[in-house]
Structure 1
Amino acid sequence: MADPVHTDDAPEAVGAYSQAKATADLVFTAGQIPLTPDGDLRADASIETQTRLALDNLVAVLKTAGAGPADVLKTTVYLADIDDFDAMNAAYAEYFETAPPARSAVQAGALPKGVGVEIEAVASRE
C-alpha cells in the first residue's frame, strides 16, 4: 500500500493528485513546478531560478517522506523549450553534485501554468 505524502513546505497540489506517494521502500513524487509554497508562480523567472524552485519543492516533499537528494534514483525533467537544457542542467547539477540519479529530459508541448520546467522523481526510502 502507498501512503500519500503532504508538506506545507511545498505548494499544494493544483489538481486531483498527491504531492507524492510512498511505499515502505520508494517515494514517487508528482511533478514540481516553480510555484512557491505560498502560491507565488515564478513562470517569468529565468530557467535556472525556475529549476531551483522546482527542486526546492521536490526536496521538501522528499524530506517529508523520509528521503533526500542522495536517495533519488531517477528524475524526469520536462522543459517547455529544449533549448533551455544547458541552463536547466547547470542549476540541476547544484542539487546532485555526486552520483546524480538517472534522468530523462524532454521537451513537453506545454507545462502547467505556463512554466518552463517541471521535475518529478523516484527515490529510495531504504
Structure 2
Amino acid sequence: MFANVVVPPALGPYRPFVKAAGLVFVSAQAGVDPATKMCPDAFEAECRQAFHNLVEAVRAAGGDASDVVKATVLYTDESQFDVINSVYAETFPAAPPARTSAIVRLPDGKRLVVDAIAVDRRN
C-alpha cells in the first residue's frame, strides 16, 4: 500500500498516512530529502522540503494540497516564523487550512516537522 509513497522513511513504527472516517491523517513530515535521506543546511530549504513531503504523502493517499483542512507545524526556532508563513502560503495558496504551530525540540537535528489532516474526497 505504501510502495509508491515518495517521503522519507519514518523514524519509528508508524505509517506515512492512515485513512479513516473519510479523512487522511498524515504523519509528521520532516524536511528530509527522500533520495538522500538528508536535511538541507538552510532552514528555508528544510521547510520547503517538509511541506513538499507532506503534499507527497497526501498525493499518495489519493488527494492533493487543496484537500488539507488542518496542519500542525512544529519547529525549533521562533525567529523562523515568517519563513514558515511564506512557505505555508505558497503550499496552500487558495484556501489555507487551519493550523496549529508550536516551538518544540525535535530529534536528530530536525528544525521543523509538519503533519496534516486531509479530506478523503475519493472515499
Same fold at TM > 0.5: yes
After TM superposition, the structure 1 = structure 2 runs for residues 20-35 of structure 1, keeping only pairs within 5 Å, are: 20-23=17-20, 25-35=22-32
The Cα shift of 1:14 comes to 1.8
Map of 2:56 onto structure 1: 60
Matched, 1:106 2:97: no
Deviation at 1:73, TM superposition (A): 0.5
Give 1:118's aligned residue. Answer: 113
CA RMSD of aligned residues (A): 1.6
| In the alignment, structure 1 residue 12 sits paired with structure 2 residue 9 | yes
Contact 2:8 2:37 in 1 (8 A): no
For 1:15 and 1:25, locate their aligned partners in 2 and report how far apart those are by CA, in whole Å. 25
State the identity %.
34
CA contact (8 A) 1:75 1:102 kept: yes
Provide Cα deviations, 1:17-65, integer angstroms capped at 9, x if missing partner.
Answer: 11111125100011000111124321x5222211110011111111110
* Structure-1 residue corresponding to 2:37: 40
Number of residue-to-residue matches in the alignment: 121
Post-superposition CA distance 1:2-26 (Å, at most 9, x none): xx75644111112111111112510
Decide which moves more: 15-24 or 92-101. 15-24
Do 1:11 and 1:39's aligned partners in 2 also have CA atoms closer than 8 Å?
no
TM-score (norm 1): 0.88
Instruction: Measure the CA separation in 2 of the matches of 1:6 and 1:25.
Output: 22
Letter in 1 for 2:112: V
TM-score (norm 2): 0.90
Structure 2: segments with no counterpart, 5+ residues:
none
Letter in 2 for 1:14: L
Structure 2 counterpart SS, 1:105 = strand
